[in-house]
Structure 1
């Protein structure tokens, strides 16, 4: 059964850098699942920083959607996968036009299935590790618009679902990782 590690924290907390160092220490052959989509200069800059930090030996899989398939493909050739990040993956899903009209019950159920597909993809392999990076977005004020509230709530539920099944969970605060599970 594959090992799941969850790394969470706020924006610019150092969680991706910690995750990169974690997989570099434990993996022999590393794949990187990138979930972002570049829509503006700010996101292009963030992606550039991530790419610059990654060794050229890491194979990148771009998976803004259907990431469970990318995980399976990555595990076919690699022992360790860094999945960065769950909250961007959720955002991609939530912003698809087909999902805009779903009821809250359906949206919660579909999102849970989305996370379960990721969990199943990792648990179906043997002696391999997936490190999921995610944002902690529920520590601030209640957002004023409906989409932001849905996103915050769904991110919290997704994080709980992955954390519950994870073998290790870390919270990164100001660049300092704290193991919480």
Structure 2
């Protein structure tokens, strides 16, 4: 099963994904895409680490997500990826359009092949005003395209607001 959980910053999306993973009864692999490039991001990473059960396997993969998913894939397992928008940011900051396109296409190709249950967490960025800067507009556009494509692939899509999940696709 492929689940996509979207929401704004501090909307409860990661907490929801982690609760679903805990309740699944499956072994859990957590793929973190964040890079601790500053103190504030290091604090965010530490906060998330404290929320997760210590027996979950942790993998950090900022760029080559599809390859990591293929490497970790197995039956009776859940892989939680948090988060896709940080992964997309990492790709955009690499300033290699070909790499970003290649990795995004590879992810879309790999996801339907996986035996593991997958939960993808991502920030919904398209609800605010149009950003003023070129890179910010590109990020919002690319995230929107990625979310639409993943929404088509996903068995379940959930949008979190103020800690409440709203199911957009799939069963409750």
TM-score higher than 0.5:
yes
Q: Indicate if the aligned counterparts of 1:86 and 1:134 stay in contact, CA closer than 8 A.
A: yes
Report deviation, 1:23.
1.1
- Residue 114 of structure 1: aligned partner: 103
> Which stretch of the first structure deviates more once superposed, 114-123 or 85-94?
114-123
| CA offsets 1:82-130 (integer angstroms, 9 cap, x no match) | 0001100000000103x2xx5xxx79xx53x43332233332233x210
| CA offsets 1:23-44 (integer angstroms, 9 cap, x no match) | 1111411000100001111100
Structure 1, unaligned stretches of length 5 or more? none
Q: 1:133 aligns with which of 121, 133, 145?
A: 121
- Residue 165 of structure 2: aligned partner: 177
- Residue 8 of structure 2: aligned partner: 10
- Residue 90 of structure 1: aligned partner: 88
Q: Indicate if the aligned counterparts of 1:36 and 1:88 stay in contact, CA closer than 8 A.
A: yes
Distance 1:123 1:8 in 2: 19
Q: 1:124 aligns with which of 101, 107, 113?
A: 113
Please give the secondary structure, in 2, of the residue aligned with 1:36: coil
Matches for 1:1-40 after TM superposition, within 5 Å? 3-40=1-38
Q: 2:140 aligns with which of 152, 172, 175?
A: 152
Please give the secondary structure, in 2, of the residue aligned with 1:32: strand
> Which stretch of the first structure deviates more once superposed, 71-80 or 170-179?
71-80
RMSD: 1.7
Q: Indicate if the aligned counterparts of 1:31 and 1:78 stay in contact, CA closer than 8 A.
A: no
- Number of paired residues? 169
TM-score (normalised: structure 2): 0.92
Distance 1:7 1:138 in 2: 15
- Residue 153 of structure 2: aligned partner: 165
